[in-house]
Chain A
């Protein structure tokens, strides 16, 4: 039976960029454990030689011609933005990548 600790929930919340509260850590730890225990039943199925299905429809090789299509204007692109500056999306300072 999978158990999930408060620390693990905190780790998941960090990965998922959710600034969860202390109360939520307790709540989610309990609920996730119940849900995981239930869904862990997929493990009962003997499926070692069964191929996984990622796509329900068996399509392959769907391509687009390399021909430009009109997109959005700068104004449309920025229309939903919280803040803009010089035609760009203005966001808080970014921490260094990697």
Chain B
């Protein structure tokens, strides 16, 4: 069943959209939020569990200090105030993927409040999104639904539970209502999530992989009739798993709500699910009773009271943040505003900076990301950052070229190997024998063969036409499949001719 949709321009004529974005981020700490289980992805079910994260009777939580510091650093990077005193609360509701049947979460006492994040839009203008809070909580386990059609919850006969993810540290970043976005609301939603992702990546606190669920976005959308000053009823769309989906989900909800309101209907405050395939949202199951989470302070954890010194020390650990990096790119790499914007839009700036930080020259790093790797990302239909190559791996390839161990052509083959998950650059070079051949014995034989095959060229060189050596070098390169060290081949050609 597809909902009636209003034309986008008409929505904007009649209503003002108001957004709210709630982003959950899994921290990449070594251990979970409240226990010493490893925070890892992809291990066999129920192998990263202990009495605490399984919710066994008698087990108790102890807070991960690094998770607290990560939360505070995120808060500081978002220009938030750090609460001088805060606690965890229990959010009580029953759900089988939650082993204690309550979630330990910072309900009304978040560690960071009242911040902002400036996001850059496609025309180069900045839009400031106000941040309401960043707070800590724990992730749930995962359920697998068996017996229904393609593993979906509806029609399943039973479910299987894996608690490896239960208790993984989460930070939830919540915006204040975003007003004044107007026609750019979908774009702003996407740009905000992008900016937040880049910020979190710069802080090195999370993998921020939307495709793997380590970053998840819930989009709240409501429409306010023109001339009114009270917000409309909002819906909360979950399951928005890519940047593109954020934009599409907001746009869809605007058009759907517009049609409902225009036909005299009422928006129901509800959770909706975004369907990637149809780019539409659908209502979740309606609860027969209104939710009452019965929050109260978590008695098994003690309050957090960050001292001024601690906050100040964390402030000094903040890395170069995206907007600072942009400023540096302009001054140090000599980029124009336009070039910079293209890099930002392509999602390449942070990757280039990280590659530079890993030791590569800025020009090479930029060239790789904006040309060859951008083509690869396009042909695979993924974001540049989601390519399976790290800045450090690329920096190594660039270094191998600079050392003369790889030609540009070989370097591309090595990068292809990394993208195909064959291993680290050096492993791929070794495994495929891609290294430039500098072995004189092998090269001498190849040069002699080439000279013998072209006695006229050899004669020209002997006659002083040194430029003619290029033809012999080319022949040798062809014969060795491009793996010869061209510089050395040229030296050998000249030496053998004059011998």
A–B proximity contact (CB within 8 A): yes
Q: Pick the contact of A94 from B29, B156, B303 — CB < 8 Å?
A: B156
Q: Tell yes or no: A69 within 8 A of B by CB.
A: yes
Of residues 139 through 160 on chain B, the ones whose CB sits less than 8 Å from some CB of chain A are: 143-147, 153-154, 156-160
CB-based contact B297/A78 at 8 Å: no
**Which residues of chain A are near B47, meaning CB under 8 Å?**
73-74, 77, 87
Given the known interface contacts A55-B299, A91-B96, the answer about A63 and B159 at a Cβ–Cβ threshold of 8 Å is: no
A69–B271 alpha-carbon span in the complex (Å): 38
A71–B66 alpha-carbon span in the complex (Å): 19
CB-based contact B87/A54 at 8 Å: yes
Q: Tell yes or no: B463 within 8 A of A by CB.
A: no
A6–B148 alpha-carbon span in the complex (Å): 38
A85–B160 alpha-carbon span in the complex (Å): 7
CB-based contact A93/B145 at 8 Å: yes
Main secondary structure of the interface of A (DSSP, over half): loop
Of residues 142 through 198 on chain B, the ones whose CB sits less than 8 Å from some CB of chain A are: 143-147, 153-154, 156-163
CB-based contact B160/A63 at 8 Å: no
Q: Tell yes or no: B468 within 8 A of A by CB.
A: no
Of residues 63 through 98 on chain A, the ones whose CB sits less than 8 Å from some CB of chain B are: 63-74, 77-78, 80, 85-98
Given the known interface contacts A72-B50, A72-B51, A77-B54, the answer about A90 and B160 at a Cβ–Cβ threshold of 8 Å is: yes
Q: Pick the contact of B30 from A15, A67, A88, A94 — CB < 8 Å?
A: A67
Given the known interface contacts A72-B50, A88-B161, A93-B159, the answer about A98 and B285 at a Cβ–Cβ threshold of 8 Å is: yes
| CB of A85 to closest CB in B, whole Å | 6
**Which residues of chain A are near B304, meaning CB under 8 Å?**
60-61
**Which residues of chain A are near B30, meaning CB under 8 Å?**
66-68
Q: Across the interface, name the chain B residue whose C-beta is closest to A17.
A: B94
Q: Across the interface, name the chain A residue whose C-beta is closest to B44.
A: A87
CB-based contact A88/B144 at 8 Å: yes
A86–B65 alpha-carbon span in the complex (Å): 34
> How many of chain B's residues touch chain A, expressed as a range?
35 or more
CB-based contact B302/A59 at 8 Å: yes
**Which residues of chain A are near B432, meaning CB under 8 Å?**
none
**Which residues of chain A are near B36, meaning CB under 8 Å?**
64, 67-71
Q: Tell yes or no: B41 within 8 A of A by CB.
A: no
CB-based contact B37/A68 at 8 Å: yes
> Could you say which of B45, B66, B163 has the most chain A C-beta atoms within 10 Å of its C-beta?
B45
**Which residues of chain B are near A59, meaning CB under 8 Å?**
302
CB-based contact B158/A72 at 8 Å: no
**Which residues of chain A are near B35, meaning CB under 8 Å?**
69, 71
**Which residues of chain A are near B302, meaning CB under 8 Å?**
55, 57, 59-62
| CB of B243 to closest CB in A, whole Å | 24
**Which residues of chain B are near A11, meaning CB under 8 Å?**
289
Q: Tell yes or no: B492 within 8 A of A by CB.
A: no
| CB of B409 to closest CB in A, whole Å | 44
A65–B56 alpha-carbon span in the complex (Å): 22
CB-based contact B44/A96 at 8 Å: no
**Which residues of chain B are near A86, meaning CB under 8 Å?**
45, 160
A98–B288 alpha-carbon span in the complex (Å): 11
| CB of A7 to closest CB in B, whole Å | 12
**Which residues of chain A are near B96, meaning CB under 8 Å?**
91, 94
Q: Pick the contact of B67 from A61, A66, A70, A77 — CB < 8 Å?
A: A66
Question: Chain B residues in contact with chain A, CB under 8 A?
Answer: 29-31, 35-38, 44-51, 53-54, 56, 62-68, 85, 87, 94-97, 143-147, 153-154, 156-163, 238, 271, 284-285, 287, 289, 292, 294, 296-297, 299, 301-306
6 more CB-based (< 8 A) A-B contacts, given A74-B44, A74-B45, A93-B156: A15-B289, A66-B65, A71-B36, A92-B158, A95-B285, A98-B238
Give 22 A-B contacts (CB < 8 Å), ordered by A residue: A15-B294, A54-B87, A54-B299, A61-B303, A62-B301, A63-B63, A67-B36, A68-B30, A68-B37, A69-B37, A71-B53, A74-B47, A77-B46, A77-B49, A77-B54, A80-B56, A86-B160, A91-B96, A93-B145, A93-B157, A94-B145, A95-B153
